[in-house]
Structures are given as C-alpha cells and as structure tokens.
Amino acid sequence: MVCLYLNARNALLKKEVISIGILDKSIIHPREIFGPAVELRAAGIVLLHNHPSGDVTPSKQDIEVVNKILEAGKIMGVNVIDFIIVSENATHSFFTEIQSSDSKVTHYVSDGVQNSLFDLLETEQPIYTPEIKKIHKVYFYPESRVKTGRFRLQNRRFLGNKYKLLGFIEDIVNEKCNGFGVFCDIFAGTGVVGERFNEKGIKVIANDFLASNYLPLKAFLGTSEIDFEEIEKKINLLNNLEAHNDNYFSEHFGNTFFTLGNARKIGAIREKIDEIVKGDNEKAVLITALLYAVDKVANTVGHYDAYRKRLDTIQPLRLLAPDFGPENNANNEVYKEDANQLIRKISCDVLYIDPPYNSRQYSDAYHLLENLASWEKPSVHGKAKKMDRAHIKSDYCLNSAPKAFDDLISNANCKHILVSYNNTGESKDGRSNARISDERIINILKTRGDVDIFERDYKAFTAGKSDTDGHTERVFYCKVTK
C-alpha cells in the first residue's frame, strides 16, 4: 500500500510506502498512515493498493479498511480524499462512496501484493522533505520611544509588513548566521527587516524598485548626514502651506481617496518639496514624511486598489519628521533596482529574500503613492485613477515566478539565504494563492545547500479580505555550500 500526502492545495508533499504485502495479503494499521501525515502537516491523503488478480472490484476487506481509515481521518483532522484499487489494466476509486460514507470502525486485512503498484508510481527523483521547525514562542513588541513630532519606519500600513515577525526572523538569523558583517534585504518593502540589523559593525544593503519604498529606505537606512533642525523647519513650512486651488493631485484623487482639502494640500506640498530641497538626502526625508502623512489620512483600508465609498477619514494632513540614527548608515547601500539584476552586482553574508507571494502586484496596490513619489504627473485612468505601471510589474507575481526565483538563487553570492514565503492559506480568490510551491522553493534552494524550514502561525495584514485558513509564515533557511 502507498499513501500520497497532500497539502491544502492538494499538491504532493510526499509518497510513502505504508506496507508491502506477503503472498496473499497486506496488513496495515491507521497509525502507519496518519503518523507521517502529522509530521508532514498534511491536509489530505490518497491511498492506493493493488489487486494482482486484475479484478479491481472491492473486496469485503477493502470496504472495511476504507471505513476504518475514514473514521481515523476524522479524528486526526486529515481529509481522506480517495482510496484507489489498481490492477495492471484497470482502477477503482472509492471517491463517490467516501463523500457519503458513514464511517465504521473495522479491522483491515486485504488481499494481494504491491509490486505492480510501485511500478506505476515510480518517480525519477524522490521529493526532498526537510524538517519543519514549528515556532511557538511569543514575541512582545513594546512601543519604541519616539521623539515628539517624529515617526518610525514601521509606522505605515503595508501589505506583507514584517514588523510583527522581526523577533521570529532575528532568532533564526542568530541561530544560523553568527558572525555576519553584511545583511542584504533585496525585496525590502518597508525596510523593517534591514533596519532590525542596522547597527555598528553590520552593513545593510536594502533594495526595492518602487520609488515609494526606495525613498523611505534611503531616508532611514541610506542617510548618514542630515540636519534635523533644518528638516523640522521645512516640515513646519510645509504644514503651514495653504492650498485653495486644485492641482494635479486634487483633480484626480480629491473627494475619493482623500478629502478635497487634504488632496489639494498634498499636491501643493509635493510641488513645494521640489522647490526647497537641498540634496538627495533631504529630498528623500521630506518625501518620506509626506508619504507617511498621506497614509494617515487616506480613505482606504491600507492600499490604493480602491477607496472606501464613505469618505469619513477627514482629519487634516500633518507631516512629522522621521526618527532615525544616521550614525549607523555610513556604510549602508540602498538601491532601486530589479532584484534579479542587482543580485549579479553585490555580495553579502546573509541574503534575506521576501518576494511577492501571489499575483497581486504591489504597483497596483500602491500606484497612488508611486505617482506621488515620482511626481511625473502621468495620465491616469479607471475609477482608481491608476497610471501605466507596466515598467514596475514584478515577475514574482506571474507564472514565471519559479523561474525568476531559480535565477535569483543561482546568482546569489552569499553565505546564508533566508526566504520568507508564507503559504497565503487557502483563499476563495485564486489571485491570493502562492505563486511558488513549497516543494519548488526547497528544490531550488537545495541546489545551493541543505535546507531547514521554520514556521509560525501568523495573522497578516491583507487587502481587506481575511477569509483565509491555515495562514502560516515560513522562513526557508539554506547554508550555502555549493
């Protein structure tokens, strides 16, 4: 008898030989079936055994064993999807009977031997299944002491924000990557992971190809010289601007994503920033202050794919100054590049990879912030007033995601690789399901070294629909030896 262990998306986790029969029978107990299911965290199983006689008609013993395994599956919380009898020229599936069966507890003794079944299920290469280390540690996140009138890097709503997982990630790095000097966050997003390791003696490389992410990264991680008194003077100037006339921003986003008054002021402030800035660092800091202030008054659920029908986010716009220590940023490098191109130019000790998980493009969710940060005033279209975003689409949201990931890993010049990739649960909307399977991630990483998996249950910030089940955050660790 052979058991196929499946995940929640019915993708194969492992094929396991449960029993090899003697001349005329095979003896099995449910513990041999469900023990591996628990270890693999399988959501379902498919069982197969053969009738060498060629007659696939279920015997009395076959029916009894199906009932017993169904009963055990219900107790264990593992879905028994099918029980299939195989002969050389025919098959019989219990699928229909299983869907309507009233399970009974019986004993299993079935006839036959298994040789022909193994031939049918032979695969070229066994699936690599590393140990999954489930983390149950509770992490506390006390509020940082932020200076009055300042904000921190994590004070922003963002899909996939890792702030509440920093302790989990840091524990893995400390356990596996002692003594590193260069940490690269190549899909940085908000940048909170890179910031966690930004201290004297550690060089941080942070990258994101969206301007609305790159500018905060440059401000918080790439600015080593800044006059905060001058910044606060300019922020006061911007806060005191009066905007009574419409502008590019208010014409497209007023009375929808923002009140008309806030939209006019946002547009006026963005114009003023370009007039008063001195140098790239100051520009990054002031635009970052605006982006974070905009997030506080946006009439959205945290992204800009759509706005809320009821415009009730009416508090006035107010910019704050960013709170960071420039003394730790002297050796850091901040980039705005495609990750697969950048990986060919850099080297590091620890490579942290947190790519998009599903088909939802970040350039769609944050088109408005991208428009504001770049300030090229492009034409916009549709109800959400989106600009053309073809140049900032990610391959990791497409069917080509596995190929892009393979290319990234094969060109990585590093000692340790950590990949954050949550399973995104099971969503009614296929766009939310993961683009790269766990098996594919493991097999690609295995080309560079042995793989460990760390897993933790996690309630993520989503795009407003949180009806997913089995949501876990996973970190795949690979010590590079190849």
* Residue range 329-354, pLDDT digits in tens: 999 999 999 999 999 999 999 999 99
- β-partners of residue 3 are 16, 47
Distances (CA, A) of 263 to 76, 79, 452: 55, 52, 48
Are both 101 and 215 inside the same structural domain?
A: no
> Is the separation of the CB atoms in 291 and 369 below 8 Å?
yes
- Is 272 within the bounds of a domain? no
Tens digits of residue pLDDT in 373-385: 999 999 999 999 9
Are both 322 and 386 inside the same structural domain?
A: yes
pLDDT at position 50 is 85
Tens digits of residue pLDDT in 200-247: 899 999 999 999 999 999 999 999 999 999 999 999 999 999 999 999
> Is the separation of the CB atoms in 23 and 45 below 8 Å?
no
Long-range contacts of 177-180 (CB under 8 A, 24+ apart): 177/349, 177/350, 177/415, 177/416, 180/349, 180/350, 180/415, 180/416
Q: Residue 56 in 3-state DSSP?
A: coil
Are both 63 and 155 inside the same structural domain?
A: no
- Is 263 within the bounds of a domain? no
- Is 182 within the bounds of a domain? yes
In angstroms, the CA 390 to CA 211 distance is 14
In angstroms, the CA 162 to CA 354 distance is 9
In angstroms, the CA 450 to CA 413 distance is 16
- Is 345 within the bounds of a domain? yes
In angstroms, the CA 148 to CA 40 distance is 49
Where is the domain boundary, 127, 142, 171?
A: 127
Structure tokens at 190: 């908000």
- 309 alpha-carbon distance from chain centroid: 29
- Domain containing residue 454: CATH number: 3.40.50.150
Are both 422 and 461 inside the same structural domain?
A: yes
> Is the separation of the CB atoms in 447 and 409 below 8 Å?
yes
- Is 240 within the bounds of a domain? no
- Is 253 within the bounds of a domain? no
**Vertex 309 angle, CA 304 and 313, to 5°:** 75
pLDDT at position 112 is 35
Please give the single-letter amino acid code of residue 275.
E
In angstroms, the CA 226 to CA 233 distance is 13
Are both 92 and 192 inside the same structural domain?
A: no
Where is the domain boundary, 127, 158, 187?
A: 127
In angstroms, the CA 191 to CA 162 distance is 9
Stated as kind and residue range, the H or E segment containing 172 is helix 166-176
Structure tokens at 141: 């996140």
pLDDT at position 280 is 96
Could you tell me which residues come within 8 angstroms of residue 134 by beta carbon, excluding any fewer than 6 positions away? 455, 456
pLDDT above 90 for 131:
no
- β-partners of residue 185 are 206, 352
pLDDT at position 68 is 87
pLDDT at position 384 is 96
Which residue would you say has higher pLDDT here, 391 or 139?
391
- Is 400 within the bounds of a domain? yes
Are both 90 and 198 inside the same structural domain?
A: no
> Is the separation of the CB atoms in 418 and 173 below 8 Å?
yes
**Vertex 48 angle, CA 43 and 50, to 5°:** 175
Are both 121 and 158 inside the same structural domain?
A: no
> Which residue range forms the structural domain that includes residue 376?
150-227+299-479
Which single residue is written with the structure tokens 């202030």? 293
> Is the separation of the CB atoms in 15 and 4 below 8 Å?
yes
Are both 436 and 306 inside the same structural domain?
A: yes
Structure tokens at 200: 């004297």
Are both 358 and 396 inside the same structural domain?
A: yes
pTM, 2 dp: 0.70
In angstroms, the CA 184 to CA 418 distance is 10
- Is 218 within the bounds of a domain? yes
In angstroms, the CA 235 to CA 220 distance is 17
Which residue would you say has higher pLDDT here, 232 or 117?
232
Are both 443 and 339 inside the same structural domain?
A: yes
Are both 118 and 156 inside the same structural domain?
A: no
DSSP 321-390: EE---GGG-TT-EEE-S-HHHHTTT---SEEEE----SS--HHHHTHHHHHHHH------BTTTTBPP-G
DSSP H helix total and E strand total for the chain: 16, 17
- Domain containing residue 25: CATH number: 3.40.140.10
- The pLDDT-based confidence of 371 (bands split at 50, 70, 90) is very high
Please give the single-letter amino acid code of residue 462.
T
What beta strand segments (E) does 167-260 contain? 182-185, 203-207
Which single residue is written with the structure tokens 């219900």? 74
Q: In the chain, how many domains are there? A: 2
- On the CB side of 363, CA atoms within 13 Å amount to 16
- The pLDDT-based confidence of 287 (bands split at 50, 70, 90) is very high
- The pLDDT-based confidence of 99 (bands split at 50, 70, 90) is low
Are both 207 and 303 inside the same structural domain?
A: yes
